[in-house]
Amino acid sequence: MSIRLSVCLLTRDEVGNIERVLRSVEGVADEVIVADTGSTDGTIPLASKLGATVVPCTWVEDFSAGRNAALAAASGEWVLWLNPDEELPAESRTLIRELIDSGPDVFGYLARVRMIGRAERPDQFAEALDIRLFRRRLDLRYEGRVHPGFSASIGEAVARDGQRVAESALVVNVHAYLSTLSKAKLRWAARLLEKELHDRPGRLHYLIEYGRTLLLLDDPRGHEVMSEAVAQLVPLIDAPVAPNVDAQKVLEYLLTTPSDRTGSQISPERAAVLALKWFPGSPPLLWAIAAQAFHRGHFDSAGDLLEQLARFGESGIYDRSQGFDPRIIGPWAWRNLGQCHRAMGRIEQARLCFESMRLDPEFRDEAEALLAECRK
């Protein structure tokens, strides 16, 4: 029997995650390939017990090398790539068989990769598009030590063959709340990002991730790296649309970091204008601009932005391309909006905001205290 779909994963010490992800593709995958880089916690025997083929893979500080080892072991006509902290929801299991029966003009499909930040709020997530379902090709290779992507040459080869990448309703859920950013993990990530920039210098995405990682480690070099990323935006500030989605993270840095630390050619005020022009539906950027206005005493402006954030939370319609704390479109938005109304003497409007904040059990006590202050 021909193998239509290979599901591929890269693992190391994922015994807590491997069963969930493998169970999610039961009845969908014709084979499962697990490229393992040296697990010692029981991942290998559990994956084997669940029917996966485990391929030993030497870790060389390069996620692409591991992914390519998995691809080399696969034999399906199509490949679905998943990470250990992910799973395929039920609706995607039904859809995926329809997608792989598509015509020969489709090379692959963009999936909606949903990063869920809180286990109790699966409806609140960041979302990115990524090619996760694609035809297996002998010339197909990933590149990038971290955040791997297909090499540029594959796009040219696919175009020559008259194929395309199509949009789809395919969803992959990422249980992002399971990952903890320890100092050790951050140092490890910084080392890989530094190596990646040595291999392929100047790439904006990696500059931003390296700079942000250094800053999380309280390493002042992070500001120098972020200034390189900002410099790439300077020639583009008059563009009507953002050059790419990564520009959001640069603008957030400029909005939340004192100017004497950034040394940037783009002021916080200019960054706010760009943010509203390029990413008007981005919760983390609107939150940062609202905070800037609030601290300057511009309560009307801050209130308008906070009200928009609260409406995002109610409608579920907003830019999901960057991760953020979902409380900024929920109880935090209502709390700060209420404080803006109080500062302007609008006590009844403030009370209504704190009532909305009280609907979240985590913030009920704080909301009650704020409501009591309104009654004084």
What is the per-residue DSSP string for 34-93?
Answer: EEES---SSHHHHHHHTTPEEEE----S-HHHHHHHHHHH---SEEEE--TTEE--HHHH
**Ranges in the chain annotated CATH 1.25.40.10:** 281-376
pLDDT for residue 1: 56
Residues 292-342 pLDDT 10s: 999 999 999 999 999 999 999 999 899 988 888 889 999 999 999 999 999
Long-range Cβ pairs for the range 89-94 (8 Å, 24+) = 89/24, 89/171, 89/173, 91/169, 91/171, 92/170, 92/171, 92/172, 93/24, 93/25, 93/27, 93/28
H or E stretch at 266: none
- 292 in Cβ contact with 275 (< 8 Å): no
Residues 329-351 pLDDT 10s: 999 999 999 999 999 999 999 99
- Which pair of tokens denotes residue 216? 């999380």
pLDDT less than 70: residues of the chain = 1
- 299 in Cβ contact with 343 (< 8 Å): yes
- 337 in Cβ contact with 310 (< 8 Å): yes
Q: How many other CB atoms sit within 10 Å of the CB of residue 158?
A: 21
What architecture does CATH give domain 281-376? Alpha Horseshoe (1.25)
Residue 218: partners with Cβ closer than 8 Å, 6 or more residues away = none
CA angle, 20 as apex, 313 and 71 as ends, to 5°?
Answer: 105
DSSP annotation of 263: -
Fill in the amino acid letter for 47: A
What architecture does CATH give domain 5-178? Alpha-Beta Complex (3.90)
User: By C-alpha distance, which of 198, 225, 187, 185 is closest to 209?
Assistant: 225
pLDDT for residue 151: 82
Helix axes 247-256, 268-278, angle to 10 degrees: 140
